[in-house]
Amino acid sequence: MTAIALILLAALAFLAAGLWIPFVIGGAAIAVIIAKKGLAGLSAVGLVTWSSANSFTLTAIPLFILMAEILLQTGLASRLYRGLAHATSRLPGGLMQTNIVGCALFSAISGSSVATAASIGTVALPELASRGYPMRMAYGSLAAGGTLGILIPPSIALIIYGTFTDSSIVRLFAAGLIPGLVLALMFSLFVGLFGGGRGRQPSGEDEDAGIVATTIDVLPVMALIVLVLCSLYLGIATPTEAAAVGSVLAFILAALFGDFSWSALKAAFHNSIRASAAILFIVVAAFLFSFALAISGVSGALTAFILSLGLGKAAFLASVAVLYLILGLFIESIAMMVITVPLLAQTFSLYAIDPIWFGVFLVILIEIGQITPPFGLNLFVIQSLNKAPYADVVLGAVPYYAILLGFLVLLVLFPSLALWLPGLIS
Amino acid sequence: MKPRAAEAGGAAGRGCAALIRLTDSASCLVLASMAVVVCVDVVCRYALGFSTQIAEEAASLGLVALIFLSLPGAFRDGALLRVDAVYSHLASGLKNLLDVLFHLIALAVTLVYIVQLGRLAAGSFAQGIRSDMALGTPNYLPQAVMVLGLVVLLGAIVAGFLRTLRHLRNSPSAVEGAAQAKDALAK
């Protein structure tokens, strides 16, 4: 066990030093296998890698990414924002509301927090600046709104979680929907109360001229979202099928309503394969890591250790929350999930925790990590879009950090927030 | 593409860049095919009342190819995720030294994957193992694609390693970096 502990410590050191995450995880797994089974044990590397990559469930990830990229590269995502800006211009908070609603809607396409924050942020920040909105508030709304990307379905994080815990992806998606919408509502209430008014209307722009334009801008993407989500929840399509049909429909919508060009399509495919490789290589390496932990006895030892502490369910969940809040300071969300979930999954039965509910709980903790300084990914995305002072982005996100923590408590007190909708799915 | 290739070192770098272009194009094609095959199956099922029976197998095999063929390009373009909070604040000399070490680890891990997946593919070929789904695809085919992607990844890592070595050799701060590394280890 000492050798295994040293290997895991070395892996953490390399992770912190900046070695590429899949090589940290894969390297640690290989070292643990050699330490436990000798070189002969390495024959499992091929088999585990093959069986983890050959997964129909995971095929949904590149297809959802492709759908979002097509909408983004052909300008349909920008039109969605523009349309929403007209629709929400009369609400208190003005364009700040558009940020939240835009992020919530784009979350229903993209499945990724960073993609959501970057996509909406790119369009929103110049508009917000030109209309004189308080920028600190604007940065916060975009960084926090972006986190909805991994909660409101489709969610790449929930697909990966479901693959590791053998949970139904459709039920996980259903579990994420109401918490995602409630959080969006809480964000929206906050910007309505403290968003600093509606900003200036740019000269020459008629506020009322937009009803037809709004409909044309918003309708294609809204129709796509409704179709994808309904096909999932009505049991018509699996997540992979919904993603594939969504991609093809996004392509058709882009050809009909977007700035469709060969270069835009090429960029969409190029970005999709890059993002897919980055995420899925980590997942494949994590399956090997999970296998290595199982044969090394670490998983069993950790379960026995947790049991020996005699924690109640509430204390256990609080410890998990603290662990993830600390990890979220330093580690990228997908890596954090794939390293810890195989270990934690062993404890669900000890505390009678519903894996579907825990998936939502975990994703909210990851969301918090994404806006936690110093290394929250969404903070960097928003900062880099506008060359904003980092401190402004961090301070802007602080209220949302509190809202997310508050919602986490609500989720523990009222588990049906996450479990009611999946319960309706047969 | 050309400047990168030149930087990576002559003909070998150009060859590697050309291979990455090929694997990238193949990945894009695979992704498009996955979307179309699954979509056609959904349409057939709901509009025409039958299933093609091949969508699940084709999409899963497509995913295998997509992951491994797109890896070399992702590595070269710096798309693989890393925790760079500490790394990005290091002095360039120390960063170069760490890069050498990181490339060596990546090389070793990739080599283990190549050898083990190569053995798996050879075993599947020798035993004639096929998928138990409608297409009955021989397992060695997608497994060989995994190995192919990893071999090109190995080439990309070697090119990156050579580039890092060159930076290290040409960098005036190399000595300073070594001193910093020594200090860090002493602490």
Interface check for B89 against chain A (CB to CB < 8 A): the answer is no
Interface check for B125 against chain A (CB to CB < 8 A): the answer is no
Q: Which pLDDT value is given to residue A208? A: 56
A16 with B106: Cβ contact below 8 A: no
Q: CA–CA separation, A382 vs A301, rounded Å?
A: 41
Please state, rounded to an integer, the average pLDDT across all residues of chain A: 87
Per-residue burial over A296-331, b = 16 or more CB atoms within 10 Å of its CB, e = otherwise = bebbeeebeebeeeebeeeebbeebbeebbebbebb
Q: Which pLDDT value is given to residue B128? A: 93
Q: Which residues of chain A are within 8 Å of residue B70 when distances are taken between CB atoms?
A: 273-274, 276-277
Q: Which residues of chain A are within 8 Å of residue B142 when distances are taken between CB atoms?
A: 54
Q: Which pLDDT value is given to residue A203? A: 47
* Nearest Cβ partner for A50 among B106, B112, B143: B143
Question: What mean pLDDT comes out for the span A117-144?
Answer: 86
Q: CA–CA separation, A144 vs A194, rounded Å?
A: 15
Residue A321 and residue A58 in contact, taking contact as beta carbons nearer than 8 Å? no
Q: Which pLDDT value is given to residue A20? A: 94
Q: Which pLDDT value is given to residue A345? A: 84
Q: Which residue has 């969504």 as its token pair? A: A246
Q: Which pLDDT value is given to residue B135? A: 87
B146 with A269: Cβ contact below 8 A: no
Interface check for B135 against chain A (CB to CB < 8 A): the answer is no
Residue B149 and residue A277 in contact, taking contact as beta carbons nearer than 8 Å? no
Q: Is B186 exposed, middle or buried (0-12, 13-18, 19+ CB in 10 A)?
A: exposed
How does pLDDT run across A197-235, given as a tens digit for each residue?
A: 656 555 445 555 567 777 888 888 889 988 988 888 888
Q: Which residue has 């294609």 as its token pair? A: A220
pLDDT over 80 (residue B173) = no
Interface check for A17 against chain B (CB to CB < 8 A): the answer is yes
Sign of CA dihedral A308, A309, A312, A318: negative
Q: CA–CA separation, A79 vs A264, rounded Å?
A: 15
Q: Is A102 exposed, middle or buried (0-12, 13-18, 19+ CB in 10 A)?
A: buried
Whose CA is closest to A161, among A341, A389, A282, A284? Answer: A341
pLDDT band at A196 (very low <50, low <70, confident <90, very high): low
pLDDT over 70 (residue B177) = no
Q: CA–CA separation, A243 vs A156, rounded Å?
A: 11
Residue with more model confidence, A113 or B42: B42
Q: Which residues of chain B are within 8 Å of residue A23 when distances are taken between CB atoms?
A: 80, 102, 105-106, 109
Q: Which pLDDT value is given to residue A111? A: 74
Q: CA–CA separation, A169 vs A161, rounded Å?
A: 9
Which residues, 6+ apart, have CB-to-CB distance to A173 below 8 Å? Answer: A153, A154, A155, A158, A232, A233, A239
Interface check for B126 against chain A (CB to CB < 8 A): the answer is no
Query: For chain A, first and last CA: distance in Å?
Result: 44
DSSP tag of B82:
B
Q: Which residues of chain B are within 8 Å of residue A58 when distances are taken between CB atoms?
A: 63
A27 with B46: Cβ contact below 8 A: no
3-state SS assignment for residue B130 = strand
Per-residue burial over A35-73, b = 16 or more CB atoms within 10 Å of its CB, e = otherwise = bbeeeebbbbbbbbbbebbbbbbbbbbbbbbbbbbbbbb
pLDDT over 90 (residue B168) = no
Interface check for B122 against chain A (CB to CB < 8 A): the answer is no
Residue with more model confidence, A1 or B48: B48
Question: What mean pLDDT comes out for the span B6-24?
Answer: 79
Question: What mean pLDDT comes out for the span B13-35?
Answer: 94
| Nearest chain B alpha carbon to A374 | B85
Interface check for B111 against chain A (CB to CB < 8 A): the answer is no
Q: CA–CA separation, B73 vs B153, rounded Å?
A: 8
pLDDT over 60 (residue A189) = yes
Residue with more model confidence, A348 or A20: A20
ipTM computed for the complex: 0.88
Q: Which pLDDT value is given to residue A51? A: 92
| Nearest chain A alpha carbon to B34 | A244
Q: Is A409 exposed, middle or buried (0-12, 13-18, 19+ CB in 10 A)?
A: exposed
Q: Is B3 exposed, middle or buried (0-12, 13-18, 19+ CB in 10 A)?
A: exposed
DSSP tag of B79:
-
Residue with more model confidence, B141 or A369: B141
Q: Which two tokens stand for residue B52?
A: 């093609």
Task: Please tell me the pTM assigned to this model.
Answer: 0.86
Q: Which residues of chain A are within 8 Å of residue B84 when distances are taken between CB atoms?
A: 18
A14 with B105: Cβ contact below 8 A: yes
- For residue A163, give how far its alpha carbon lies from the nearest alpha carbon of chain B (Å): 14
Determine which of A19, A67, A227 to mutate to test the interface with B (most B C-beta atoms within 10 Å): A19
pLDDT over 80 (residue A132) = yes
Percent of chain A with pLDDT over 90: 41
The residues in A 238-257 lying below 8 A from B, measured between CB atoms, are 240-241, 244-245, 247-248
Q: CA–CA separation, B48 vs B35, rounded Å?
A: 19
How does pLDDT run across A139-182, given as a tens digit for each residue?
A: 999 999 988 988 998 888 999 999 889 899 999 999 999 999 99
B67 with A281: Cβ contact below 8 A: yes
Which residues, 6+ apart, have CB-to-CB distance to A322 below 8 Å? Answer: none
Alpha-carbon dihedral angle through residues A344, A350, A352, A356, given to the nearest 10 degrees: 20
- The winner for highest mean pLDDT among B99-108, B126-135, B165-174 is B99-108
The residues in B 147-186 lying below 8 A from A, measured between CB atoms, are none
Whose CA is closest to A281, among B135, B27, B21? Answer: B27
What's the gap between Cα B59 and its chain centre? 19
How does pLDDT run across A34-79, given as a tens digit for each residue?
A: 999 999 999 999 999 999 999 888 999 999 999 989 998 998 888 8
Q: CA–CA separation, A6 vs A384, rounded Å?
A: 37
Q: Which residues of chain A are within 8 Å of residue B134 when distances are taken between CB atoms?
A: none
The residues in A 196-215 lying below 8 A from B, measured between CB atoms, are none
B36 with A248: Cβ contact below 8 A: yes
Please state, rounded to an integer, the average pLDDT across all residues of chain B: 87
CA distances from A41 to A34, A37, A94, A343, B140 (A): 6, 5, 60, 21, 21
Percent of chain B with pLDDT over 90: 63
